[in-house]
Amino acid sequence: MVVSLKLIPTLLIVARTFGASSAMSADLEARPVDPCLTLVGQDWVYPKDVRDCFTSIKLDLVIKDNVSYINVVP
pLDDT of residue 23: 53
Structural domain boundaries, residue 53: 33-66
Same domain, 27 and 40: no
Same domain, 60 and 37: yes
Count, in order, helices (H) and strands (E) of the chain: 3, 0
Q: What is the mean pLDDT of each run of 10 residues along the chain (74 residues)?
A: 56 64 58 84 92 88 78 72
Q: CA 33 to CA 47: how far, in whole Å?
A: 18
Same domain, 50 and 60: yes
pLDDT of residue 43: 92
pLDDT of residue 15: 65
pLDDT of residue 45: 92
Residue 49 near residue 35 (C-beta atoms within 8 A): yes
With H, G, I as helix, E, B as strand and everything else as coil, classify residue 44. Answer: coil
Q: Is residue 47 part of a domain?
A: yes
Give residue-wise pLDDT tens across range 23-38: 555 556 676 788 898 8
Same domain, 41 and 57: yes
Same domain, 12 and 23: yes
Q: CA 45 to CA 35: how far, in whole Å?
A: 12
Q: Is residue 4 part of a domain?
A: yes
Domain count, the chain: 2
